[in-house]
Copies of this chain bind each other. A is one copy, B any other.
Amino acid sequence: MRTLNVGIIQQRNSENILENSSRIANKIRELSKKGAQLIVNQELHDTLYFCQTESVDEFDKAIQLNDERVKFYQGLARETKTVLIISLFEKRASGLYHNTAIVIEKDGSLAGKYRKMHIPDDPAYYEKFYFTPGDLGFHAIDTSVGRLGVLVCWDQWYPEAARLMALDGAEVLIYPTAIGTESTDSPEEQQRQLEAWTVVQRGHAVANGVPVISVNRVGHEPDPSKATNGITFWGSSFVAGPQGEILYRAPFDKEATEIVKIDMNRSDQVRRWWPFFRDRRIDAYSGLTSRYLD
């Protein structure tokens, strides 16, 4: 049995970037001591979720991929001998920014990067203001712990993204995330949203016969503009197996630092039972590249 020990860090963040990243560093060390081989962080884990308002000053938070903060995580990967999934606000050039995930190999080298392809824009999630949609496409990244399909947050609602990663050989789908509810939604609506978020990602696991790791932030962050009541990030980070079965689920209102074991051989067995890849009608899928067909 080829087991992958996945470390998950679901964290409540403050305005203090150094404090956030120091706490993550301590948790990475702790998870590594407990045997983690791969550690997944939440989306934009060093900062508050600054997209609640549109403010040009927030671009100060963006960093380049050779920034000291990236090197800090590279050092941590090397120190702890773990593969790290890092999510950051990337400054690619003046006036050109991305929401980028980087994969750091356990020797500290950069294994690859993914620039968030689907960018949301909703009240309190003004990401289209900050992030240019990724131009790298959907490509799995080879690491010492397997071939990883790293996507980011809003991507998780798109079956196309999951499928393209699986077709590119991803052995696991990974989603750093920042999602929550606004207090004016009814409790029933909040519950439906949380469940929908879980179900659609478990569906990707089923449709592609791969495990899914989704790591979300937790806790309330106020809206600096006071236009809304802020976001209560719903935590509930989870790991699902290749039949969509829940292997682990974090609390919705507490931080979580957890190791989850994934049996990486199971996908091969599941895909024998359910050979969906055998029967895809690629001759009839061209409409998927259309905006709408009606």
Q: Is A294 an interface residue (CB 8 A)?
A: yes
Interface pair B280/A158, CB less than 8 Å apart: yes
A118 in the interface (beta carbon within 8 A): yes
Given contacts A200-B206, A202-B199, contact A277 B294 (CB under 8 A): no
**A207 near B159: Cβ-Cβ < 8 Å:** yes
| Residue of B with least CB distance to A162 | B159
Q: Are A287 and B195 in contact (CB under 8 A)?
A: no
| Cβ proximity bits A142-167 to B, threshold 8 Å, 1 near / 0 not | 00000000000010011111111001
A280 contact set on B, CB distance < 8 A: 118, 158, 160, 291
Q: Smallest distance from the beta carbon of A94 to chain B beta carbons, Å?
A: 24
- Taking the closest CB of chain B, its distance from the CB of A185, in whole angstroms, is 9
Interface size on A, residues (CB 8 A): 56
List B contacts of A203 (CB < 8 A).
159, 199-204, 206-207
How far does the alpha carbon of A200 sit from the alpha carbon of B133 in the complex, in Å? 27
Minimum C-beta distance from A92 to chain B (A): 18
The main secondary structure of chain A at its interface with chain B is helix
Task: Among A193, A281, A292, find the residue whose CB has the most chain B CB atoms closer than 10 A.
Answer: A281
Proximity bits, A257-294, B CB within 8 Å = 1, else 0: 00000000000000001111101111011111111111
Distance to closest chain B CB from A117 (angstroms): 5
Question: Hey, which chain B residues are within 8 Å of A293, CB to CB?
Answer: 164, 167-169
Q: In the assembled complex, how far is the CB of residue A21 from the closest CB belonging to chain B, in whole angstroms? A: 30
A248 CB, min distance to chain B CBs, angstroms = 16
Query: Are the C-beta atoms of B243 and A193 separated by less than 8 Å?
Result: yes
Contact A133 B164 (CB under 8 A): no
A234 an interface residue at 8 Å Cβ cutoff? no
Q: Do A167 and B290 contact each other (CB < 8 Å), given the known contacts A196-B206, A196-B244, A281-B133?
A: yes
Tell me if B200 and A288 are in contact (CB < 8 A): no
Chain B min CB distance to A148 (Å): 13
B-facing residues in A152-199 (Cβ within 8 Å): 154, 157-164, 167-169, 192-193, 195-196, 199
Chain A residues with CB under 8 Å of chain B are: 117-120, 122, 133, 137-138, 140, 154, 157-164, 167-169, 192-193, 195-196, 199-204, 206-207, 243-245, 273-277, 279-282, 284-294
